[in-house]
Amino acid sequence: MPFPPCQLVTLPSGLRLVTVEMPHMESASVGYWAPMGSRHEPSRINGIAHFIEHLVFKGTQRRTSEQISREIERLGATIDAFTSEDHTCFHAKGPAERTGVMLDVIADMVGDPLFADPDISNEREVIRDEISMVRDQPSQWLDDLLSAAAWGDHPLGRPITGTESSLDAIRREDLVAFHQQAYAPELGIVAVAGNVRHEAVCDLVAHAWAGLPPRTAGSPCEGLLPVMPPLTAPAAGPKPSFGFSEDDCGQAHVGIGFRMPGRLDPGRHAVKVLNVLLGENMSSRLFQALREQEGLCYQIQSDLMAFEEAGMLQVFFATDPKHLPRVLKRLGEVLTGLREEGPTEVEVVEALGSLVGQTRIALETTGAQMSWAAETLLGYGECIPPARALTELATVSLAETREAAARILVPEGMSLAAVGPPRARKPLEDWLADFSA
Confidence of residue 15 (pLDDT cuts 50, 70, 90): very high
Q: How far apart (Å, rounded) are the C-alpha atoms in residues 254 and 418?
A: 4
pLDDT digits (tens, 9 = 90+) for 301-346: 999 999 988 999 999 999 999 999 999 999 999 999 999 999 999 9
User: Average of pLDDT values for 349-355?
Assistant: 97
Confidence of residue 232 (pLDDT cuts 50, 70, 90): low
Checking if the pLDDT of 237 tops 80, the result is no
Checking if the pLDDT of 98 tops 50, the result is yes
Lowest-confidence region among 74-78, 247-251, 327-331: 247-251
User: Average of pLDDT values for 186-208?
Assistant: 97
DSSP string, 117-177: HHHHHHHHHHHHHHHHHHHTSHHHHHHHHHHHHHHTTSGGGS-TT--HHHHHH--HHHHHH
Lowest-confidence region among 129-133, 154-158, 313-317: 154-158
Confidence of residue 223 (pLDDT cuts 50, 70, 90): very low
Q: What is the pLDDT of residue 392?
A: 94
CATH code assigned to 6-210? 3.30.830.10
- With a pLDDT cut of 70, the percent of the chain lying above it is 94
Is residue 357 classed exposed, middle or buried when 0-12, 13-18 and 19+ CB atoms within 10 A define those classes? exposed
Residues marked active site are found at 53
Higher pLDDT, 54 or 224: 54
Checking if the pLDDT of 222 tops 80, the result is no
Confidence of residue 224 (pLDDT cuts 50, 70, 90): very low
Higher pLDDT, 405 or 215: 405
CATH code assigned to 241-435? 3.30.830.10
212 DSSP assignment: S
Q: What is the pLDDT of residue 216?
A: 57
Q: How far apart (Å, rounded) are the C-alpha atoms in residues 63 and 72?
A: 12
Checking if the pLDDT of 230 tops 60, the result is no
Q: How far apart (Å, rounded) are the C-alpha atoms in residues 113 and 32?
A: 15
Which residue ranges make up each domain of the chain?
6-210, 241-435
**CATH topology of 6-210 equal to that of 241-435?**
yes
Is this structure's pTM higher than 0.85?
A: yes
Q: What is the pLDDT of residue 227?
A: 42
